[in-house]
């Protein structure tokens, strides 16, 4: 299971490299699909031998989900912040499980379609107090984005690694976490905007966030930088597959 979980970090590397490629294509006006996880999985499925690799990605994410959920139940050895670590592991387990399901659905020809974020947001907005729930969710996503930026800038990701890594891995982690944090911050901002305006169409996932970046002044350059940063996170994930504390 530990070996399969390390494969999950490698799967994360594959996913983020593909996301970076889609972001760069979007910046250059050459995008033909969604620049999000579903689009990345579909791109992989269409490559030679892509279906086999996509199954491997699905297994890796599933194993990493099981590992994180087990950590949420059993706790983290020698940690003085068990409650926080358990909650974080639970959230990661759910996320990796969702990625495993999406990858498996894609290889079977039933990958996720666009518009799901908007439909979910619309359902929540229709609930009593829905605007508050959506707004809180958006702020949480923004908070996760800020957390990634701080984790990258202060090199806190090194706590996730065992042993000593080279300066290249450190720089990849710094750039990658900051770029991913910026993208998540934009996603959260879109969700907050949907809550403020009570307009579900304002919400969106990564694809909508990258389009929003591109449409800003100097947006093409910004999107290229973020895309390269996401690629750096992908490269860091490959290193994490080797050095992660498990």
For helices 37-45 and 50-74, what crossing angle results, to 10°? 140
> Percent of the chain having pLDDT more than 90?
43
Domain spans of the chain, in order of start: 2-243
The pLDDT of residue 154 is above 90: yes
Pick the more confident residue, 4 or 32. 4
Residue 118 banded pLDDT, cuts 50, 70, 90: low
Q: What is the pLDDT of residue 112?
A: 52
pLDDT in tens, 37-65: 888 888 888 888 888 999 999 999 999 99
Q: Name the band, by pLDDT with cuts 50, 70 and 90, for residue 211.
A: confident
- SS3 label, residue 161: strand
Residue 91, CA distances (Å) to 66, 71, 72, 81 in order: 12, 11, 9, 16
Q: What is the pTM of this model?
A: 0.86
């Amino acid at each position: 299971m530990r070996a399969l979980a390390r494969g999950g970090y490698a799967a994360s590397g594959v996913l983020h490299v593909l996301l970076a490629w889609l972001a760069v294509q979007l910046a250059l006006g050459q995008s033909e699909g969604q620049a999000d996880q579903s689009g990345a999985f579909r791109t992989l499925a269409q490559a030679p031998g892509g279906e086999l690799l996509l199954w491997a990605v699905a297994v890796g994410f599933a194993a990493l989900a099981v590992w994180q959920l087990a950590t949420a139940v059993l706790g983290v050895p020698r940690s003085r912040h068990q409650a926080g670590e358990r909650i974080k592991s639970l959230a990661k387990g759910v996320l990796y499980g969702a990625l495993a399901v999406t990858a498996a659905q894609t290889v079977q020809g039933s990958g996720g379609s666009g518009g799901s974020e908007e439909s979910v947001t619309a359902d929540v907005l229709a609930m009593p107090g829905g605007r508050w729930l959506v707004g809180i969710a958006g702020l949480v996503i923004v908070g996760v984005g800020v957390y990634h930026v701080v984790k990258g800038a202060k090199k806190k990701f090194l706590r996730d690694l065992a042993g000593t890594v080279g300066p290249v891995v450190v720089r990849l982690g710094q750039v990658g976490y900051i770029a991913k944090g910026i993208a998540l911050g934009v996603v959260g901002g879109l969700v907050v905007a949907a809550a403020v305006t009570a307009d579900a169409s304002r919400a969106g996932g990564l694809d909508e966030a990258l389009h929003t970046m591109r449409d800003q002044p100097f947006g093409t350059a910004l999107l290229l930088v973020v895309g390269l940063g996401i690629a750096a996170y992908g490269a860091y994930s490959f290193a994490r597959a080797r050095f992660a504390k498990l």
